[in-house]
Structure 1
């Protein structure tokens, strides 16, 4: 079954160019010119990945990214006419998976799309394997007064429910399964839905900063030049 890609761009020529190229590569391509059309197409059919232009009329691409991520785990590649690092950082913080700058090579974009979809499938497989491997009732992992429920994707501290984004949950799960081990940014990147290939970006740092704000900060130890270590004692 072909992957479904939603191209959101107010430039007709760009949409036509992307639609023609990706359909030749075997993808099903849906078009939208703005946020309103995007939501219409997104809500009426299954979409695997969205190519989303930042500079749209009405609601901009960054705001749409944030709302998409709050509702869905769909893959998101942001497209911008500006090569600004701040746009990239903000876009990734909003929940985008990758970022490309116009003008882009279609072949490079195709590779990014393939890599993103491949990593999405790996994460789904890893989540399924994780649930199967855990033998504790309700797939509960306890550490330092916290309880992580893998099936329901919930984190609790006593009676308090701590809300986590999908990326935060994934990263915390990796840490609790590898306590007292130094994990590189590249390894962490490979096991989460933030699938950007550039290991020099600050994606992992941003997620860990958010986890430190939500949990005891000292649980996440920075090992300079190597990565991060989860210092908690995890109950088997």
Structure 2
């Protein structure tokens, strides 16, 4: 009887220790430094993507490159048990295309060109870390059909893309999407010491924007 009680205590103790062990973050720790560095650059997007452009300036963009928080929510509803890793891969693909299109419209001496080129380099650095942080076989897994369709449309030759697929968006709004979806998909790297933040919720960014506007006024 004593032995049984001892065994129960040992099992209970081990279970308690197990429960105290933090759950592994979905984002590899090695990703956090390049993503935070990227965020430092993105924090300047209002200056470089709004103030340095004419009012209401827009660029031609593939409709799938307008990648918002609502797109992430929709894909999670459409694809059962959608792996966050798949969305992270798509995030890199989308924003590489976005930055390339912004750079393409900027003259060599435009004040926002070095900034955009720096963003592109930092995104490339982050993707390099992302690739090394995951086994090759994981990154080579077949994508869900819905995601594969988006991927294929993004990698299609521009002259083969139907005219109906193109949209117009401001550089600032595209980088807002870039930033917001980064926080949503890699939230482990941006954990706050305050109350838990819902970076995938639109309301969080509305409050954030309101604070920024108050600081500017």
TM-score normalized with structure 1 length? 0.30
Q: Which of 1 and 2 has higher RCO (CA within 8 Å, sep 6+)?
A: 2
Q: Which has the larger radius of gyration?
A: 2
Q: Which has the higher strand share?
A: 1
More helix by share: 2
TM-score normalised by the chain length of structure 2 = 0.32
